[in-house]
Structure 1
């Protein structure tokens, strides 16, 4: 699964295993329609391993911990069960130890879906997946929401009372004698200047998401923009323009732009490139190969009809390769830009500012959210591959 994607559950009882290279604390919270627990009894974890319809199972350090949800036994009024995790070691973050959630049929153990949240760094706790009720149908959604204040931050967000240890009482001491009065003629020194204020704390992961309300957006690496604008319908057709110039005057450089389509389990659906100009029943089309990179404007354009994309297409990754073997250090001004297919208005632009001596680059990704809207994330990740075939696996990992 990719962030925001969802699947209907084909089993009444599901288990969510959460595995990582280190031991994790896994928990489940039963939430009402307002996104809060009814009481602390709805917080299921190692010290409170059972609740109505939800249970915690320890892996004892040799297997993943798991949360099991029996949807037939979940009380009325509970609309969502979120599954969370945090590293067991105090202060450890998820950087380099990304967890994988495996959703299974709890009765026969068969795998229904897997999800690994991408690009984690300073998070010390995660909401990984949620099991939720929508229009009478139970579903599972990939989330990947991070917190920097540990499991306590998640619990507090969802209405669980978190008791902080009381500070030790200060010893009672006799009041010090009052200071002698200063001589009348003596000027008192001004109080020392206050130290500079500490910078504001970084917002939690996902806070302040960029949108198109203020017009064209220029993205930096790993930034995400929601392709919606207040008061307007969702975009139905977009054009992804990719361009580059040779780093040396008079040189030709033949790069190939492609888009790789994936399903909710990061499964490869198809690839659109110069050798296959139309995929997914014509919902994605390629403009054709540019052999030199010379000239103003986009070198290659990929049209995407978002409204015609099949439902199983939840992620699109746009890549550029050097089939002739030239490195991206020989390229100047590589960029990608997203345009409204109906009006031609440029919506989002990402300029590749740093180059590496590689033959492939993952420029950006478009991810369909459960609400139906799409989000674009700038990537700029270099890989060793001269063809789109070699980009399929690293692009799936970038989802």
Structure 2
């Protein structure tokens, strides 16, 4: 099978073996029509090996198996998604070719095989899905990678990831000034996310510590640190309206102007560039992405350049956007102060997410942030803050593709 292809299932009970040269953690999620699990009972993995019509077991030839008895799957379940991630902490799929083999669970005959192509920095993967269509069951090859592990997939599909409960206050204890929080204990694979939010003074909203699990927009504005991710979901619904990425900077030395250029590069699922929007091309993708125009000095308050993205109007082949800033005149980012990017609701002007660069390097380009469309249809924003040597957006394409 190839990515996106599907086949009808000729067996009532099917087994999906996922194998690789390295040890994998394999799971199955039962999804309703809204693309979410009904409860955590619909998440099947090695620590919870059975669910309604779905079981997890070790494959006879190595790897893990998710077995689906389509006759026993509840009526409200539309699909079963089979996922995998490397067992070793922090490992990616680079150099690894996992294979999903779909078999008749009763006689062992092979119905289909699928090896996702071009894997690299992904730490988790949706391999295949078994889905119901007009009363019949089919299998679809997916191959959608994630950068934040199986916990990220679980969160996207509605598995609850609970935050640690706050300790109870001592009775009748006088109020005390807040103290810095100690780092939380490491979380289990499906336990609380490492790095619970730390309260800060308004107006900045709480954000998890570096390396922690995803958060959403329900608590208001999110301040990201490098490599942190926020899911663009508010009130349980994905944000699909127009958003504006504002990018700003100030000269590090008074009286010295600095000319930086903000751009966005649109990528497809194969990490191939589809188009880029910059000061020389102010509109792309039929107007779904628009640039505000060039700022030549960086002087003045507020965003220096802004790029508006209508998320709901992006073509389906666009799965990733990387926002970059370059110094066309060759000035280094060590001459820049207060570089930042912020995501706003384009209609209300409400600031949703902010990322401030806390350090600079004597280089001419920086990847500020990326927006990634998830398999569930939601978008995620991840703060990057990665410096490279490039004076134009053209030179940013390869490093941006690697950052997806």
Q: Do residues 370 (structure 1) and 372 (structure 2) align?
A: no
What SS does structure 2 have at the residue aligned with 1:258?
Answer: strand
Contact 1:29 1:44 in 2 (8 A): no
After TM superposition, give the deviation of residue 82 of structure 1 in Å: 2.8
**Distance in 1, Cα, partners of 2:345 & 2:85:** 39
After TM superposition, give the deviation of residue 261 of structure 1 in Å: 0.4
**Closer, same or farther in 2 for the Cα pair 1:81/1:295, shift >3 Å?**
closer
More deviation in 379-388 or 204-213? 204-213
**2:260 match:** 255
Per-residue CA deviations over 1:253-299 (Å, capped at 9, x if unaligned) read: 11110000011221211000111111111100111111111111111
Q: Do residues 115 (structure 1) and 119 (structure 2) align?
A: yes
Counterpart pick for 2:307 among 299, 302, 305 = 302
Count, aligned residues: 314
The two structures have a TM-score, normalised by structure 2, of 0.66
What SS does structure 2 have at the residue aligned with 1:396?
Answer: helix
What SS does structure 1 have at the residue aligned with 2:127?
Answer: strand
**Distance in 1, Cα, partners of 2:384 & 2:143:** 23
**1:35 match:** 43
Q: Do residues 146 (structure 1) and 149 (structure 2) align?
A: yes
More deviation in 324-333 or 139-148? 139-148
The two structures have a TM-score, normalised by structure 1, of 0.67
Per-residue CA deviations over 1:241-262 (Å, capped at 9, x if unaligned) read: 1011111111111111000001
Per-residue CA deviations over 1:154-173 (Å, capped at 9, x if unaligned) read: xxx9xxxxxxxxxxxxxxxx
**Closer, same or farther in 2 for the Cα pair 1:332/1:393, shift >3 Å?**
same
What SS does structure 2 have at the residue aligned with 1:307?
Answer: helix
Contact 1:26 1:83 in 2 (8 A): no
What SS does structure 1 have at the residue aligned with 2:287?
Answer: coil
**2:332 match:** 327
**Distance in 2, Cα, partners of 1:102 & 1:10:** 18
**Distance in 2, Cα, partners of 1:328 & 1:385:** 11
Q: Do residues 201 (structure 1) and 202 (structure 2) align?
A: no
**1:25 match:** 23
**Closer, same or farther in 2 for the Cα pair 1:99/1:17, shift >3 Å?**
farther
Q: Do residues 317 (structure 1) and 331 (structure 2) align?
A: no
Show structure 1 runs of 4+ deviating over 6 A. Answer: 12-19, 49-52, 102-112
**Closer, same or farther in 2 for the Cα pair 1:107/1:388, shift >3 Å?**
farther
**2:346 match:** 341
What SS does structure 1 have at the residue aligned with 2:43?
Answer: coil
**2:129 match:** 132
**2:154 match:** none
What SS does structure 2 have at the residue aligned with 1:389?
Answer: helix
List gaps (5 residues or longer) in structure 1. Answer: 1-5, 55-72, 121-126, 149-156, 158-196
After TM superposition, give the deviation of residue 307 of structure 1 in Å: 1.5
**Closer, same or farther in 2 for the Cα pair 1:31/1:240, shift >3 Å?**
closer
Contact 2:363 2:387 in 1 (8 A): yes
**1:153 match:** none
Task: Spell out the pairing of 1:7-22 with structure 2 (5 A cutoff).
Answer: 8-10=4-6
Contact 2:57 2:64 in 1 (8 A): no
Contact 1:100 1:114 in 2 (8 A): no
